[in-house]
């Protein structure tokens, strides 16, 4: 091996390189086996019997191989230089992009902060306005009640003093004025409850529109849903069809009866079969974000169902409906005879009651129709002859049933679609306490 230090300043014409092992000898030979330059002493020593030759004779072979390697290596140098140049350019572009994005972030956040601060100030001003409005209303009501109380006390004290200390003649003389005054005071209308309440809440998750071009959240609500004022709407309230989706709308209102105009309330709906209370029907409640909620469900089989609608864990309304009543050609018997129009084959029994039963009156139908009502048909079966008259009425929210007499059909009652003609007597009155304790649709 030749020390690199020995090669410094060496050229083709330069000085000779001495052997590291034999400093007095110059490296003139090359050992092919060991692939290294050697001197004459090395050839007769450690490199005895190794193929050795003068450097001038082997330089061409080894120089050519080195040149080939050099030729293969030079493209890598250029590629690396290009890669480093690209890295440098990318690094510079990265830095510029970072600075630009940082500027965008600062601009956005500063604008967002200003928008939030502006929205905060608006909310606080709105809150102060609400407080002032409510306070003014309370102060006005307070002044009116205080004035009324003062007038009441004056009238009461004057009258008590007159009755206690006045003579008979004085009482009779002032009676007219006193009575008129007291009557006017008694006729004054006033509210014993504050005209406004302290219902103010902040909804941070509710969208509040845009401020300075940014979407902001958080609104102040002074309305609170009142379950007693909420109503249900929709044609499917008292009817349903087997294996078909039924839906209705819940409209939430506040204590004043005004629509909430927003969503987010806690709505719970349960549809429970009367005979399978442990197998409720799956319900879907869609928040329309405007104070209304769409409720939908799909009954799977005929039967009597209870629909419970709760807002803030308080019942809004309890509905009852039955699947399986055939009303084609159904004749409804009131004080007058009336033919019911054709309706879908599967509708709600309670829907029929509400549509056709006069207030506090019963509803009658042919016994053969009763076979479409679960639990009713066995009671309506009779031997061949005139059809049984089935009477339905409502007691404390429950549908009661009575099959206690027969009915004659008119001549035009083709296909069991004629009007009913009552035969016999002794029907229980709809709300008679002596009516049969028939549980109805059980």
Whether 442 shows a pLDDT value over 60: the answer reads: no
Which of 270, 297, 323 delimits the end of a domain?
323
Instruction: Give the number of other CB atoms < 10 A from CB of residue 146.
Output: 10
Residue 83: inside a domain: no
Average pLDDT of span 55-69: 83
Average pLDDT of span 23-36: 86
Residues 352 and 414 in one domain: yes
The full length of the chain comes to: 442
Tokens of 267: 């709505």
Q: Look at residue 238 in the predicted model and tell me its pLDDT.
A: 61
Q: Look at residue 200 in the predicted model and tell me its pLDDT.
A: 87
Domain of 351?
Answer: 331-422
Report how far apart, in Å, the C-alpha atoms of 280 and of each of 4, 243, 272, 311, 315 are.
93, 15, 4, 19, 17
Q: Look at residue 118 in the predicted model and tell me its pLDDT.
A: 95
Whether 336 shows a pLDDT value over 70: the answer reads: no
Please tell me the distance from the alpha carbon of residue 136 to that of residue 194, in angstroms, as a whole number: 12
With bands split at pLDDT 50, 70 and 90, how would you rate the model's confidence at 323? low
Residue 305: inside a domain: yes
Average pLDDT of span 37-44: 85
Which of 295, 323, 351 delimits the end of a domain?
323
Q: What is the CATH number of the domain that holds 242?
A: 2.60.40.10
Residues 337 and 417 in one domain: yes
Residues 401 and 363 in one domain: yes
Please tell me the distance from the alpha carbon of residue 401 to that of residue 376, in angstroms, as a whole number: 8
Most confident listed range (124-138, 319-333, 338-352): 124-138
Name the residue with higher pLDDT: 319 or 288. 288
Instruction: Identify the burial level of 309 via C-beta atoms within 10 angstroms of its C-beta, where 0-12 means exposed, 13-18 middle and 19 or more buried.
Output: buried
Average pLDDT, the chain: 73
Name the residue with higher pLDDT: 79 or 56. 79
SS3 266: coil
Residue 348: inside a domain: yes
Residue 347: inside a domain: yes
Tokens 């009915």 appear where?
407
The per-residue pLDDT for range 245-283, each reduced to its tens digit, is: 888 889 998 877 888 888 888 888 888 887 777 888 889
SS3 311: strand
Whether 132 shows a pLDDT value over 90: the answer reads: yes
Query: pTM of the predicted model, to two decimals?
Result: 0.47
Most confident listed range (43-57, 120-134, 159-173, 237-251): 120-134
Mode of pairing for the β-strands spanning 292-297 and 303-311: unpaired
SS3 87: helix
Residue 435: inside a domain: no
Tokens of 135: 């306070």
Name the residue with higher pLDDT: 7 or 119. 119
Residue 156: inside a domain: no
Residues 19 and 35 in one domain: yes
Listed residue (387, 422, 394, 390) closest to 403, CA to CA: 390
Q: Look at residue 441 in the predicted model and tell me its pLDDT.
A: 34
Average pLDDT of span 286-312: 84
The answer to whether 211 and 193 have CB atoms below 8 angstroms apart is no
The per-residue pLDDT for range 372-426, each reduced to its tens digit, is: 443 333 333 444 444 444 455 444 444 444 444 443 333 333 333 333 333 333 3
Average pLDDT of span 125-138: 93
Residue 193: inside a domain: no
Count structural domains, the chain: 3
With bands split at pLDDT 50, 70 and 90, how would you rate the model's confidence at 321? low
Q: What is the CATH number of the domain that holds 30?
A: 3.30.160.60
SS3 407: strand
Q: What dihedral angle (degrees, nearest 10) is formed by the CA atoms of 178, 181, 184, 186?
A: -60
Average pLDDT of span 291-298: 90
Task: Read off φ and ψ for residue 267, nearest 5 degrees.
Answer: -110, 130
Residues 319 and 341 in one domain: no
Bridge partners (DSSP) of residue 217 are 207
Please tell me the distance from the alpha carbon of residue 366 to that of residue 333, in angstroms, as a whole number: 10
Whether 107 shows a pLDDT value over 60: the answer reads: yes
* pLDDT above 70 as % of the chain: 67
With bands split at pLDDT 50, 70 and 90, how would you rate the model's confidence at 125? very high
Residue 29: inside a domain: yes
Q: Look at residue 143 in the predicted model and tell me its pLDDT.
A: 93
């Amino acid at each position: 091996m030749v020390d690199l230090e020995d090669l410094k300043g060496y050229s083709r014409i330069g000085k000779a390189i001495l052997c590291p092992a034999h400093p007095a000898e110059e490296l003139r030979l090359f050992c092919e086996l060991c692939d290294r330059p050697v001197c004459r002493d090395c050839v007769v020593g450690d490199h005895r019997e190794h193929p050795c030759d003068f450097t001038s004779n082997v330089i061409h072979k080894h120089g050519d191989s080195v040149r080939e390697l050099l030729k293969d290596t030079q493209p890598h140098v250029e590629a690396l230089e290009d890669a480093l140049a690209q890295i440098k350019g990318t690094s510079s572009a990265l830095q510029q992009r970072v600075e630009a994005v940082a500027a965008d972030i600062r601009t956005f956040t500063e604008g967002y902060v200003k928008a939030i601060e502006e929205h905060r100030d608006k909310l606080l001003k709105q809150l102060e306005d609400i407080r002032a409005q409510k306070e003014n209303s309370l102060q006005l009501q307070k002044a009116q009640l205080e004035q009324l109380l003062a007038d009441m006390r004056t009238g009461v004290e004057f009258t008590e003093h007159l009755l206690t200390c006045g003579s008979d003649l004085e009482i009779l003389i002032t009676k007219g004025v006193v009575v008129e005054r007291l009557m006017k005071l008694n006729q004054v209308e006033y509210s014993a409850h504050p005209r406004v309440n302290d219902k103010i809440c902040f909804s941070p998750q509710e969208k509040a529109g845009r401020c300075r071009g940014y979407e902001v959240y958080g609104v102040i609500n002074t309305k609170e849903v009142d379950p007693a004022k909420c109503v249900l709407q929709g044609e499917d309230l008292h009817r349903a069809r087997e294996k078909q989706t039924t839906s209705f709308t819940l409209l939430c209102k506040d204590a004043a009866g005004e629509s909430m105009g927003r969503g987010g309330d806690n709505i719970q709906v349960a549809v429970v079969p009367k005979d399978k209370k442990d197998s409720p029907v799956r319900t879907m409640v869609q928040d329309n974000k405007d104070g209304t909620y769409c409720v939908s469900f799909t009954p799977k089989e005929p039967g009597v169902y209870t629909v419970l609608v709760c807002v803030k864990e308080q019942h809004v309304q309890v509905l009852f409906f039955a699947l399986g009543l055939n009303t084609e050609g159904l004749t409804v018997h009131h004080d007058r005879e009336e033919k019911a129009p054709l309706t879908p084959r599967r509708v709600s029994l309670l829907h029929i009651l509400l549509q056709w039963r006069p207030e506090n009156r019963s509803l009658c139908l042919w016994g053969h129709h009763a076979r479409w009502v679960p639990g009713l048909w066995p009671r309506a079966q009779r031997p061949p002859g005139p059809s049984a008259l089935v009477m339905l009425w409502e007691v404390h929210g429950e549908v009661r049933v009575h099959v206690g007499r027969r009915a004659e059909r008119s001549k035009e009652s083709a296909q069991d679609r004629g009007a009913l003609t009552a035969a016999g007597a002794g029907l229980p009155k709809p709300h008679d306490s002596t009516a049969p304790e028939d549980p109805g649709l059980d």
